[in-house]
Structure 1
Amino acid sequence: MSTAPTDTAHTFTTSTFTTSTFTTSTFITTEGDTGMRIATTIFLTDETITPVRLARELEARGFAGLFLPEHSHIPVDRTTPAPMGGELPREYGRTLDAFVALAQAAAVTEHLGIGTGITLVAQHDPIDLAKRIATLDHLSGGRFTFGVGHGWNREESADHGVVWHTRRALAEDRIALMRALWAPEPTAYEGAFGSVRASFAHPKPHGGAPRILFGGAAGPKLFAQIAACADGWLPIGGSGLGESIPLLRAAWEQAGRDPGALRIVPASVIPTPGKLAHYAELGIEEVVLQLPTGGEAEVLRTLDEYARYL
């Protein structure tokens, strides 16, 4: 009969938060005129370039990483409007599972950063999600960034049992529970939406909790949440940052966080030299460029165009 390890149990609360051990060296550095690390994002589907081919091509060209979005499903009968207006693009209902696709990408590369952009945390079981993330980060050698968000599709969330007006608090609670499972010692967590006993939960993420970036529109609610439980912001589209960044920094410092630890990573960006230079002037060190949802020829042609920014 085996004997359980004799680790000491701890109790985790949201105030136990410590900054992730993710460092800028976790992503391979790709420096162009701006000196920024340049990653990419794409809606990978059953009709697009494969994760394996894309990951190999990204690493061969020197891109810093690959971020993938997720939707479990898109209900046909939906009153929620598409976030960009008009008809919802076909790819939203065909996305590959982000974690499976990222595992494939990590398996065929050595340095390529991998991340979600974004995971709809409220729609996941936090114990299962913590295990999935820890395993992916462990096997990839610490290359994972956890991009999270609250979503826009009420019907999709409802099918997961999420009460819409609670989704922000629910996501924060689930992140805290996951941090308890990622802690070095067995750590209990009791929250408003869930709890976990002090448990043996291995593997652990490679270097402690992965870097957590919140996606979403600028505003006091989001910025307070970032300051409370994340490592930075993943602004989609990257517009208006000159006005937004000082507000986020104020919320960050008011929460007692280290000013130098805040990470701001504009995502889904269509690049121009002027835009990337502007980001660099704002002190931004990473950017995630939007790739087209297409087959190999279209995606590889776009990679070659974007390579001039490296």
Structure 2
Amino acid sequence: MRLGVTMFATDLAMPVHELARAAEERGFDSLYVPEHTHIPVSRRTPYPGGGELPEEYRRTLDPLVALSYAAAVTGNLRVGTGILLAAQRDPIVTAKALASLDHLSGGRLVVGVGFGWNVEEIENHGVPYGRRREVARRNVLAMQALWRDEVAVVEGVEPSWSWPKPHRMPPVYLGGAPGPKLFAQVAEYADGWMPIGGHGIKAALPALREACEKAGRPQACEVIPFGTRPTRDKLDYYASLGITQVVATLPSGPADVVLPLLDEYAALL
């Protein structure tokens, strides 16, 4: 079982490069950071967890800049977006940045992609909330073409060169609640599913596997429980389902808050 960690990287939290070094020293497999481009102050969209929106949502660093710092001070730690809001990004610019990060890190990038929950944040990017999945799909497919092809053919763009190419095709995992729409997209263009927490995975696995097999991509049904609070029993349970990697959640706080929990998780390795 490979164990990674995720933390909201902010201007107030433990510096991401220090966390990366600490995680690698303790034997963790990966470090993921989330993305919010901004949070409109109207707060028309309720926080999905209920109650007040946590402070870290207002203060997130750009994930690709943060991960470049993490990759630069480590040698084996995989670095990932957890998650990248693909519908809110220009795919040509983002493909270049992600390819550069993977190239410079020697192939350590993982791209977790989500569709977003904050209506006004998404719509500020010119994307209607109801089309966010469609736009995210289009953008990821465009990025994959730019990573893969010598001359990339992308919808709405002239056939184009784009270098550097990534060290290898970065794996893409889709976040979101289980269901036919999500699993159809996983089966079409992703490498697996990244559910938050982990509740309900066992019940959802047959539908995910069926969708991937129907699409002729059975290898795409990898599952990475994300943002969970791991215990030995929980990790053993995931292993019994065939899951080989889990991402544990860390608080967005200073080192004296983060490191004791990192040590607690390290004892499970």
TM-score bracket, shorter-length normalisation: over 0.9
Aligned to 1:249: 209
Q: Distance in 2 between matches of 1:104 and 1:50?
A: 9
Tell whether 2:224 aligns with 1:265.
yes
Q: Distance in 1 between matches of 2:233 and 2:149?
A: 44
Aligned to 1:235: 195
Residue 145 of structure 1 aligns to a residue whose secondary structure is strand
Whether the aligned pair in 1 keeps the contact of 2:212 and 2:219 (CA below 8 Å) is no
1:47 Cα shift?
A: 0.6
Q: What letter matches 2:257 in structure 1?
A: E
Q: Distance in 2 between matches of 1:71 and 1:179?
A: 22
Q: Which among 117, 125, 128 is matched to residue 90 of structure 2?
A: 125
Q: What letter matches 1:151 in structure 2?
A: G
Residue 187 of structure 1 aligns to a residue whose secondary structure is coil
Aligned to 2:244: 285
Tell whether 2:1 aligns with 1:47.
no
Q: Which among 151, 163, 181 is matched to residue 202 of structure 1?
A: 163
Whether the aligned pair in 2 keeps the contact of 1:177 and 1:196 (CA below 8 Å) is no
1:260 Cα shift?
A: 4.1
Whether the aligned pair in 1 keeps the contact of 2:79 and 2:110 (CA below 8 Å) is yes
1:261 Cα shift?
A: 4.7
Q: Distance in 2 between matches of 1:47 and 1:55?
A: 16
Q: What letter matches 2:240 in structure 1?
A: E
Q: Distance in 2 between matches of 1:70 and 1:261?
A: 24
Whether the aligned pair in 1 keeps the contact of 2:226 and 2:248 (CA below 8 Å) is yes
Q: Distance in 2 between matches of 1:220 and 1:290?
A: 27
Q: What letter matches 2:108 in structure 1?
A: R
Residue 267 of structure 2 aligns to a residue whose secondary structure is helix
Residue 4 of structure 2 aligns to a residue whose secondary structure is strand
1:131 Cα shift?
A: 0.3
Aligned to 1:92: 57
Whether the aligned pair in 1 keeps the contact of 2:250 and 2:261 (CA below 8 Å) is yes
Aligned to 2:31: 66
Aligned to 1:10: none
Tell whether 2:154 aligns with 1:189.
yes
Q: Distance in 2 between matches of 1:295 and 1:125?
A: 32
Task: Give the TM-score taking structure 1 as reference length.
Answer: 0.85
Q: Which among 231, 234, 239 is matched to residue 275 of structure 1?
A: 234
Q: Distance in 1 between matches of 2:220 and 2:106?
A: 21
Aligned to 1:30: none
Aligned to 1:297: 256
1:262 Cα shift?
A: 2.8
Whether the aligned pair in 1 keeps the contact of 2:208 and 2:221 (CA below 8 Å) is no
Whether the aligned pair in 2 keeps the contact of 1:130 and 1:181 (CA below 8 Å) is yes
Task: Give the TM-score taking structure 2 as reference length.
Answer: 0.98
1:60-95: CA deviations, max 9, x gaps?
Answer: 001001000010111110211101111110000001
Whether the aligned pair in 2 keeps the contact of 1:37 and 1:63 (CA below 8 Å) is yes
Q: How many percent of aligned residue pairs carry the same amino acid?
A: 54
Q: Distance in 2 between matches of 1:275 and 1:246?
A: 20
Q: Distance in 2 between matches of 1:221 and 1:84?
A: 23
1:107 Cα shift?
A: 0.2
